[in-house]
Each structure stands twice: as structure tokens, then as C-alpha cells.
Amino acid sequence: MSDIERDPEPPTFADLDIDDRVLKALSDVGYESPSPIQAATIPPLLEGKDVVGLAQTGTGKTAAFAVPVLSRIDTSIKQTQALVLAPTRELALQVAEAFGKYSAHIPGLNVLPIYGGQSYGVQLSGLRRGAHVVVGTPGRVIDHLEKGTLDLTNLKYLVLDEADEMLKMGFQEDVERILRDTPGDKQVALFSATMPGSIRRISKQYLNNPVEITVKSKTSTASNITQRYIQVAHQRKLDALTRVLEVEAFEAMIIFVRTKQATEDLAEKLRARGHSAAAINGDIVQAQRERTIGQLKNGALDILVATDVAARGLDVDRISHVVNYDIPHDTESYVHRIGRTGRAGRQGDALLFVAPRERHLLKSIEKATRQPLAEMQLPSVDDVNAQRVAKFGDSITESLASENLAMFRKMIEDYDQEHDVPLIDIAAALALQSRDGEAFLLSPEPPAPPRREREPREPRPPRRFDDGPAPRSRGPEGQELAAYRIAVGKRHRVVPGAIVGAIANEGGLRRSDFGHISIRPDHSIVELPADLSNETLEALRRTRISGVLIQLQPDFGPPQGRPSGRGDRGGRDDRGGRDDRRGGGRDRYND
């Protein structure tokens, strides 16, 4: 059987008419081929057309707009030619960083992020120096426009990134104002994960006959493939993979990663851990690639670490497992990847690593393939150790069947007679030697931090108002969160998105800095980092939502038989805190 199926050739970046300097940068960062949204979006944007792209984070949408914009910027003109609007400071920084990466070979090109919470000074000097590309949150962009510090009279490209998020966060007016008050002949690219009526209307009103791009997905997955996922943070993926390799009974495995460099790095790390692994990617010459696949077929190699392109059409019956170490950009790649197992009527196993922020991609995969993926727990230390012990037992059984045992049996008998040591101790000593002193079992994991429900409920000592807020939960990155009260509530018709939008922008916070939000009749309680600086607190006291000053201040819960004096309130009462979380109108703003 041939190991390559006939598949339509995907386009390469070189097919897309991208500026050579940008092309070189894409090759430096190790992208092998355009993701579907890039393949569909880059050509019309390079032709100067407006584009509406339905795409989520993780699909490669940043490069989909950054690459064509950078291919057409004129660095001989000092003025701002491209503006990208993003809903949060976090995304603005990420997008600016991506522009920086893709423009590494364009001398003199300046990219400037501007967002709420950062001092105006840094932004002003950046703007004065002349930024060809500005990436900003809508509120701060409007501020600069009003102050006359940002000049968009020569704007040629406007990108709205995560447009639906921007509207949800209350930036509709700002976004429309920017669309209206910038040159009529600019090119506009609008990216959104969803297409609510408000986005349709904006696209109709402000875009010029846009090309609409939704990447169609191949959606059928074979029923003989068991599909599971593991939730794991990026920095723990390697540990998760090595545990999976220990507990899963696999014959051969393909592990998918996103870049060529990652194939080499991961294969190297797996070899260092004693696995027989090799990398294949688009840079590996055909002869070498065929040799590697030959080894995988004949069992000389068990693990292949591959990019999508390199593994396209690979057909090796032994592949019992596919691991999506980096989640694919789109459903079609997912279907393609997992189709590398379950060949020749066999059973196959597909495993997907999902980082907390990638959960929406998992949902898209489940929706498109109409098949829910079962969650697999990360194998525990006990699971791994049980496997090690079982394998140890198997290796003894195997060696007992060997013909070469006779010579060693004689030596052990002699030793036993000379030393009078129980045979079991001799066996244990030999086992220790064969393990070369390595720690045979994994050490127990440090105990997990106690869950909130298990926290002792003893009353806390009364706190003074000026102590600062008491931490009451942890954010996704482990940061301590505390409760803050703001003076807007249901009466002011605020929604969680507007609160996040305003506070994130003016306080320079990231979405992952938000905990629960509880909207009460005339105020709201928001969980934010316990250690907000005085500067941030000051900025947030003066922030407005729906025109109302929010007067943000630490919340200490309902008073508890207040003894005396200003602010001598009872301890921030746990009951109050917990009730918030159960109460209506709350939402969690990080993942």
C-alpha cells in the first residue's frame, strides 16, 4: 500500500503574492503553510478588497490580516497607515507583537500598541516618532483622536479584530465613530467569531462590498476512532504527554505540533526521555522522510512528531494513536490529523490537548464533527507508578523465559552460598542496578491548594477599611483576587461585558484578571487582583460606565455589628462573598 493518499495540494505562502520580506519572516517563525483562514483572506486583502472573516482566536487570524497589511505598508511615509482595533489590552499587545514578528525584515517599520491603563507619555512619544501601524483599544484610540495626538488622515487599512467582543464590551459607539471619521477610501477587514445582527449592520453600512469568508470544514470523522481531550495548560503539555506515553498502550503514534521547529524540539525531548521519536516537517528532504516513514512502518520507530503538511495523507497501519499536542487551527485539519489512525479497519485513538483559552476551538470541533469528545483526566502520579510497576513485573516474566538465564542462575547460586543473603534481597539489588539508580517511581504531587468550599469558616478578625482588600479567590494564573464595589448596577442597565470593557481599558487589566461579577440592583461587585496599585485604583475611581462614575473601592461585605468609627467594618464576611457567587447576574470573565 502506498503511504501517501492523493490529496489536493494546499497553497503555500509563496503562492500568495506576499512581500518577500514578510515571507522570510513567516519562514523564520516556522509556519509551514497558511491556515485556511489565511489562505482565504490574504489574497482578497492583497487585492485591496474589504473582507469580513468569521474566525476565532487560534485559527491564525492575526497573520491573516497582518501579512497583507505589512506587505503593502509604505515605510517611506511616516504617517499611520494601518489601525487595528482590539477589544482588550491583552489582545492589542498580542497583535502588536505579531506585527513585530512578521515585520522583522522590514527596516524602519514601527508598530505601536496603545491601550487604557498605560501612561500617555509612552504612547505620545511613540506617536510622535511616527507609527506606521497602531494597534489599540477603541476607548484609548478615541482619546488620542480627541486630543489630536493620533492623526488618521492617511489611514489606508483598518482592521476590527474580535468585532463581536468589542461590541459586547460596550465599544459600539467608539468603533462606529472611528469607521466614520477615517478616510472613506480605506480598506477595512472585520474579524469576528460570531455574526450577530449588529456586526452585519456595521459591515453593510461601513464596508465596501466585502468578501465574506467562512472556512468550510470537512466534518466526517470515522466511528472506529475514539476521540478524547485533556485540559492542560501550555506549560504542562510536555509533562502531560510523557504521562500519556507511559499509561496508554500504543503501538505507534503521531504527535501533531504547529511549527517545524516544534517538531524538532519535541522529538528531541522525547528521545532524551527514552522514547524512539523522530520529526517530520516540510524542510526534511524526501529521501529522509521516506526513511523515517519506513522505520515507523517496520517498528524501528514508534513516535513521529509532525506538522500538518508533513503528515498529509500518511498511511501507516501501525499508527494506533494521534495526539494533537497543539490544537489545530480548524476543524478540517483536525479531521485530517485523526484520520492518520484507525487505518485498515483497525481501532484508533485520538487525543487532543486543550489549553484553558482554547476551549472554544474544542467546541467548534465538537460542533462541526457532531461528536462530543470525552474528557480524559491527566494520568495521575499513581496511574503512572502503577503502570511502571506492572511493566516491571512484565519485564521479569519476559526475562524468566529467556534461554540465557542458566549462566546467571549459577552466578547467583554461588553468591548466595558465599554471602548468606536472602534471594529476594539479591533480586532487589539487581533490579536497582538495572535501573541505574534512577528514581523508579514518580514522587507524589504536592497537595492541591485547598478548594474554596473546604476553607475553614472561622470568623476572621475585623478589618480596617484602609487595610486594602482581602484576597478571596484565585484567578486562572494563580493571582489573588479580591472583591471591589462599583457604583453601577441593574438600575443603570450595565452588563458584565461593559464592566469588563471599561475596567480593563482604564485600569490596564487583562481579561484573565477578572473573577466573578455580581450585578446588584444599584451597585455591582467585581473580583479583581487584590494588589491593584494606587494609580490603577485612582484611574478606576474616575472611570465611567454608561456615563456614571463607578467610584471603584475595595468591598468588605456587609457590616458586622460595626463597633465604632469610620470604616471600622466587620471582616469581609465570607457569607457575603459566597452569596455573590451564587447570586443571579454574575458571570466569570476568565478561562
Interface with ligand AMP by CB under 6 A: which residues?
31, 34-35, 38, 57-63, 258-259
- CA 577 to chain centroid, in Å, comes to 30
Question: For residue 214, what are the β-bridge partners?
Answer: 54
Query: Cα separation of 540 and 551, whole Å?
Result: 7
Question: For residue 256, what are the β-bridge partners?
Answer: 306, 324
Burial label for 394, CB within 10 Å (0-12, 13-18, 19+), is exposed
Helix (H, G, I), strand (E, B), or coil: what is residue 317?
A: coil
Contacts of residue 463, defined as CB under 8 A and 6 or more positions apart, other chains included, come to 470, 556, 569, 571, 572
Q: Closest CB to ligand AMP among 36 and 136?
A: 36
Q: Closest CB to ligand AMP among 60 and 170?
A: 60
Query: Cα separation of 172 and 169, whole Å?
Result: 8
Q: How far is the CB of 256 from ligand AMP (least distance, A)?
A: 11
Q: How far is the CB of 34 from ligand AMP (least distance, A)?
A: 5
**Pair 53, 210: CB distance under 8 Å:** no
DSSP state letters, 61-90: HHHHHHHHHHHH--TTS-S--EEEE-SSHH
Q: Closest CB to ligand AMP among 242 and 259?
A: 259
Q: How far is the CB of 62 from ligand AMP (least distance, A)?
A: 3
Q: Closest CB to ligand AMP among 259 and 387?
A: 259
Query: Cα separation of 360 and 437, whole Å?
Result: 45
User: Number of H helices and number of E strands within the chain?
Assistant: 21, 22
**Pair 104, 28: CB distance under 8 Å:** yes
Q: Closest CB to ligand AMP among 61 and 523?
A: 61
Question: For residue 348, what are the β-bridge partners?
Answer: 225
Query: Cα separation of 76 and 70, whole Å?
Result: 13
Q: Closest CB to ligand AMP among 63 and 322?
A: 63
Amino acid at 358: E
Q: Closest CB to ligand AMP among 67 and 526?
A: 67
Q: Among 553, 533, 539, which residue's Cα sits nearest to residue 466? A: 553
Query: Cα separation of 9 and 443, whole Å?
Result: 48
- Secondary element (H or E) of residue 369: helix 359-369
DSSP state letters, 306-342: E-HHHHTTB--TTEEEEEESS--SSHHHHHHHHTTSS
Provide the 10 A C-beta neighbour count for residue 397: 8
Q: Closest CB to ligand AMP among 41 and 57?
A: 57
Q: Closest CB to ligand AMP among 58 and 554?
A: 58
Amino acid at 212: E
The CA-atom distances, in angstroms, between 178 and each of 127, 445, 504 are 17, 52, 20
Query: Cα separation of 116 and 127, whole Å?
Result: 15
The CA-atom distances, in angstroms, between 230 and each of 226, 263, 303, 339 are 13, 20, 19, 19
- CA 249 to chain centroid, in Å, comes to 29
Q: How far is the CB of 535 from ligand AMP (least distance, A)?
A: 30
Q: How far is the CB of 591 from ligand AMP (least distance, A)?
A: 15
Query: Cα separation of 326 and 260, whole Å?
Result: 12
Q: How far is the CB of 329 from ligand AMP (least distance, A)?
A: 6
Q: How far is the CB of 26 from ligand AMP (least distance, A)?
A: 7
Q: Closest CB to ligand AMP among 57 and 187?
A: 57
Q: How far is the CB of 540 from ligand AMP (least distance, A)?
A: 28
Q: How far is the CB of 526 from ligand AMP (least distance, A)?
A: 27
Residue corresponding to grid cell 472611570: 543
Q: Closest CB to ligand AMP among 59 and 88?
A: 59
Q: How far is the CB of 45 from ligand AMP (least distance, A)?
A: 15
The CA-atom distances, in angstroms, between 460 and each of 290, 395, 468, 559 are 68, 57, 15, 13
Q: How far is the CB of 94 from ligand AMP (least distance, A)?
A: 7
Q: How far is the CB of 406 from ligand AMP (least distance, A)?
A: 57
Question: For residue 514, what are the β-bridge partners?
Answer: none
Q: How far is the CB of 559 from ligand AMP (least distance, A)?
A: 46
Query: Cα separation of 256 and 367, whole Å?
Result: 21
Q: Closest CB to ligand AMP among 123 and 192?
A: 192
Q: Closest CB to ligand AMP among 33 and 187?
A: 33
Q: How far is the CB of 35 from ligand AMP (least distance, A)?
A: 5
Q: Closest CB to ligand AMP among 229 and 256?
A: 256
